[in-house]
Structure 1
Amino acid sequence: MTNYAIDDRLARRNSIILAGAQSFAGAMPTIVVAMGGLVGYFLLGADKSLATVPVSSYVFGTAAMIYPAAFLMKRLGRKLGFLIGAFGSSLAGLLSCFAILQGSFWLFCFGTFLSGAGQAFVAQYRFAAADTASEAFRPKAISWVMVGGILAGIIGPQTSILTKDLFEPVLFAGAFLGQAVLGLVGVLFLLFLQVPDQTKEIQQQGGRPLVEIVSQFRFIVAASCAAVTYALMSFVMTATPLAMIACNHSQEDATLAIQWHVLGMFGPSFFTGSLIQKFGKEKIVVLGLFMLAGCSTVALMGIEVANFWIALILLGVGWNFAFIGATTMLTDCYHPSERAKTQATNDFLVFGTVTIASFSSGGILNAFGWEKLNWVMFPPVVLCLLLLMLQAYKKRTAIV
């Protein structure tokens, strides 16, 4: 074991730097989510069923770039890959701004697709922190990075609110100019990152075949919980701004709902790692899944602003517990030489599922309404709980 894994000094330093980068580079998705559906609504004609396509394009961009980003960073290093991702997201913000000014819906969708591609690199921040951490510190390293999302939850929505009218009478274009600036600030943080290169021995080792790794039951459970958790979060979050507008709530209320949601996503990261150390990964994932079910329960109880806000806070906190727990579970499934392909496969499954959920969100909302959309949440949650119960049973029988 290397020295940096023993004393965790480098892991702590990198976690703090990545948390700072997460605060700004991670704030860009909140702009796309909060504004994307509304931009689509106003750019489209009579048929509003495609209004959430810009947000779905963003998610698809992330899924499409997961493997290229992982293997680019394996060749060029984490730091350079992260810098490329943050700078690329900044350019994507400029393109989205230009598309809105030109009134081009499909060019705007391409801009959000490129924003999503940049976020494929941001999705690897948590793994970069874990890579230099000891097994004991790993849950905290992941959580520390996610803490940066607290500032992201404030910076992103407030950037949207303050800049959306910058090019009045064309609405929302200024918010994506703000996205471009946030990407550049993220670049400044990443310049201070120190990620040791893998040893030549590790780089030359291929490890086990990917099929063998992903066929492990613990990988199936970890990846399933991560994918379902992220997909359900995106499914409800994507539809919420449009649902709130349809319920005669203001754009500011919808944007602030996303802000509270993002704070719920990342605020618990101050203590999620400690909870995982104390109670175990699986128990925290279970708690998160119950909170996701609680989100839909609250949403089904009414359509007041408070219902939307409380539901989205529960959605965010539930995502935090379940996703960080599932990510920590995943780190037990591979050896160092198998890291890149395993992490990439996991994130491809996660964001591929999220893409499907995001694309279907607008159509389900438009066709069946907010109530039916929330009922969709329960079966996947039950499925993940059953998988975790089966894993616990297999562990007990193996011990016996």
Structure 2
Amino acid sequence: MRINEDLTKPVIAHAAKLDWVPSPAAGVDRRMLYRVGGEVARATSIVRYAPASAFPRHVHSGGEEILVLQGTFQDEHGDYPAGSYFRMGTLIAGFYSAYVQSYRFAATDGLTGAGRDRAISRVMVGGLIAAIIGPQLVIWTRNALPGHAFAGSFLSQAMLALLAVPILLPLRRPAGSAAVHATAISARPLAQILTSPRYLLAVATGVVSYGLMTFVMTAAPMAMVGHGHSVDSAALGIQWHVLAMFGPSFITGRLMARFGKERVAAVGLLLIGGSALIALSGVDIAHFWGSLILLGLGWNCGFIGATAMVAECHSPSERGKAQGANDFMVFGTVACASFFAGSLLHSSGWSTVNWLVLPAVAFMLVPLVWRAASLPRNR
């Protein structure tokens, strides 16, 4: 969609003459003044919220600014009466998050087999801690600097990130990793790595596991509100989902060591498929919550299993290019899935979102189960 996209030309728009365009969230409509893109776009709009309506949690990679014209705008951080203006920028935070994703691979340096699997799983436990501390930190510090709303929140999160620096700086590669330099000449080019069946299977498992989770999770809160459930119920459902995503990390590494990473990843995909079936069976609050919890459990097994598979199918000298290409494909898919979920929900409904999960799971399970069946149970 392109509305008044040419910024070199003057534009005069009379908002009262523009139609209200429904958003993916029930009760939230827009009068679009400027827009380049679909539901995820660079845009300027007048937004109207019906009483008790809400737009679920979402991300603006380029930032967001809001001016309250009438009534009171409310989010998880507080209430903003008419005349309130605030702006949030997240681009640099996105760069930071991209680097943090490398921690799970960095933890495997110098490790092999079950030790590597457990290291990846333990790093993912940090997501559980972050899910608890992060939101509370924002709430506790949002008014820390009088006259500068949320400045304290951004500073506190920056300080939290800096706490990792004295831990990371002393770290050195294990002594055995000196072989990296000796074998660098034998490192395969990226094009050759990308044609390796084992590597492609590992990457595809991560793409499908994380992509489907994001696809459904993005649409779920909007669907809950659209089917008459409260915003609080939707928020609580997402909280249970996040706990299910990271909580099992305490034992996922042990499960991979005992049964094999491919088998654990396959179980994760089955759980994601099961979450879609629960969602298709009804729209009561129990259906939504049960689906989200199962979705989180499936993501944990699928994504951690896929990460361990990637770590196993490249040499130490290839890890930078192999791991980087994996994350580019996984998180590129995640971004596309989050963009697509809202527009599909709006145009085709919650059932369509979940029906699309099932063929993706089946498509991925066939090679994954074949690979798992060809391997010994304990390696």
TM surpasses 0.5: yes
* Structure 2 residue 45 is the aligned partner of structure 1 residue 45: no
Name the aligned partner's letter for residue 366 of structure 1. Answer: H
Deviation at residue 189 of structure 1 after TM alignment = 3.0
Q: Aligned partners of 2:59, 2:237: CA distance in 1, in Å? A: 19
Match of 1:187 in 2: 162
* Residue 308 in structure 1 maps to residue 265 in structure 2: no
Is residue 2:103 matched to residue 1:125?
yes
Q: Pick the aligned partner of 2:94 from 116, 124, 149.
A: 116
Give me the whole-angstrom Cα distance separating, in 2, the residues matched to 1:245 and 1:164: 29
Match of 1:152 among 117, 124, 130: 130
Once residues 201 and 348 of structure 2 are traced to their aligned partners in structure 1, the CA distance between those partners, rounded to angstroms, is 31
Q: How far apart are the structure 1 equivalents of 2:134 and 2:298?
A: 21
Q: 1:245 aligns to what?
A: 225
- Hey, what does 1:351 align to over in structure 2? 331
Alignment match, 1:90: none
Match of 2:229, SS? coil
Compared CA separation, residues 301 and 352, structure 1 to 2 (3 A): same
Seq. identity, %: 41
Q: Equivalents in 2 of 1:349, 1:360: separation in Å? A: 16
Kept in 1, the 8 Å contact 2:114–2:253? The answer is no
Q: Distance in 2 between matches of 1:268 and 1:148?
A: 12
CA contact (8 A) 1:222 1:327 kept: yes
RMSD value, Cα: 3.6
CA distance 1:251–1:205, change in 2 (3 Å)? farther
Query: Which TM-score applies when normalising by structure 2?
Result: 0.72
Partner Cα separation in structure 2 for residue 39 and residue 364 of structure 1: 9
Is residue 316 of structure 2 the alignment partner of residue 336 of structure 1? yes
1:183–1:371 distance in 2 versus 1, CA, 3 Å: farther
SS of corresponding position for 1:138: helix
Where relative contact order (Cα < 8 A, 6+ residues apart) is larger, the structure is: 1
Task: Provide the residue aligned with 1:196 in structure 2.
Answer: 172
Q: Which amino acid aligns with 2:30?
A: G
The residue type equivalent to 1:151 in the other structure is I
Contact 1:228 1:381 in 2 (8 A): yes
TM-score, normalization by structure 1: 0.68
What does the per-residue CA deviation read over 1:210-229, in whole Å, with 9 as the maximum and x for residues that have no partner? 11111110001000000011
Which of 359, 383, 391 in structure 1 is aligned with 2:371? 391
Which amino acid is the alignment partner of residue 146 of structure 1?
M
Partner of 1:196, secondary structure, is: coil
The separation in 2 between residues aligned to 1:299 and 1:164, in whole angstroms, is: 37
Which segments of 5 or more consecutive residues in structure 2 lack a partner in the other structure?
A: 1-22, 42-56, 70-83
Distance 1:335 1:355 in 2: 29
Q: Distance in 2 between matches of 1:295 and 1:177?
A: 38
Give, in angstroms, the shift of residue 323 of structure 1: 0.7
- Kept after mapping to 1: 8 A contact 2:213/2:296: yes
| AA aligned opposite 2:188 | R
In the TM superposition, residue 261 of structure 1 has moved relative to its aligned partner by: 1.0
SS of aligned partner of 2:167: coil
Superposed displacement of residue 387, structure 1:
1.7
Q: Distance in 1 between matches of 2:215 and 2:152?
A: 26
State the Cα distance separating 1:177 from its structure 2 match.
Answer: 6.0
Partner of 1:214: 194
- Answer 1 or 2: which has greater strand percent: 2
Q: 2:279–2:287: 8 Å Cα contact kept in structure 1?
A: yes
Paired residue type of 1:359 = F
Matched residue of 2:114: which SS? coil
The structure 2 residue matched to 1:294, chosen from 274, 281, 284, is: 274
Instruction: Describe the superposition over 1:326-360 as per-residue Cα deviations: whole angstroms up to 9, x where unpaired.
Output: 11111111111111111000000101111221111
Within the candidate set 344, 363, 370, 2:343 is matched to 363
Q: Which deviations, in whole Å up to 9, do the C-alpha atoms of 1:224-282 show, x marking residues without a partner?
A: 00001100011011112222222232322222222111111110000000000000111
**Count of aligned residue pairs for this structure pair:** 312
Match of 1:261 among 232, 241, 259: 241
Contact residue 276 and residue 325 of structure 1 kept, 8 A: yes
Label 1:288 to 1:243 Cα distance change in 2 as closer, same or farther (>3 A). Answer: same
Secondary structure of 1:376 counterpart:
helix
Match of 2:53 in 1: none
Q: 3-state SS of the aligned residue for 1:45?
A: strand
Structure number with bigger Rg: 2
Amino acid in structure 2 at the alignment position of 1:268: P
Please tell me whether the aligned partners of residues 289 and 318 of structure 1 are also in contact (alpha carbons under 8 angstroms): yes
Deviation for aligned residue 1:133: 2.9
Rounded Cα–Cα distance in structure 2 between residues aligned with 1:191 and 1:50: 43
Matches within 5 A, 1:27-106: 45-46=30-31, 55=58, 58=61, 99-100=65-66
Are the counterparts in 1 of residues 25 and 226 from structure 2 also a CA contact under 8 Å? no
2: distance between equivalents of 1:41 and 1:212?
48
State the secondary structure of the residue aligned to 2:235. Answer: helix
CA distance in 1, matches of 2:133, 2:38: 28
Going from structure 1 to structure 2, the CA distance change for 1:179 and 1:317 (only over 3 Å counts) comes to farther
**Matched residue type, 1:212:** Q
Deviates more, 1:40-49 or 1:297-306: 40-49
Is the contact between residue 56 and residue 358 of structure 1 (CA under 8 Å) also seen in structure 2? no
Counterpart contact for 2:263–2:372, Cα < 8 Å: no
Corresponding residue number in structure 2 for 1:13: none
Structure 1's 248 and 393: CA in aligned 2 closer, same or farther, altered over 3 A? closer
- The within-5 A match list for 1:136-175 is 136-158=114-136, 162=139, 174=150
- CA pair 315-322 structure 1, distance change in 2 beyond 3 A: same
Post-superposition offset of 1:382: 0.6
Whichever residue aligns with residue 284 of structure 2, its letter is E
Code of the residue aligned with 1:192 in structure 2: it is I
User: Alpha-carbon deviation of 1:394?
Assistant: 6.7
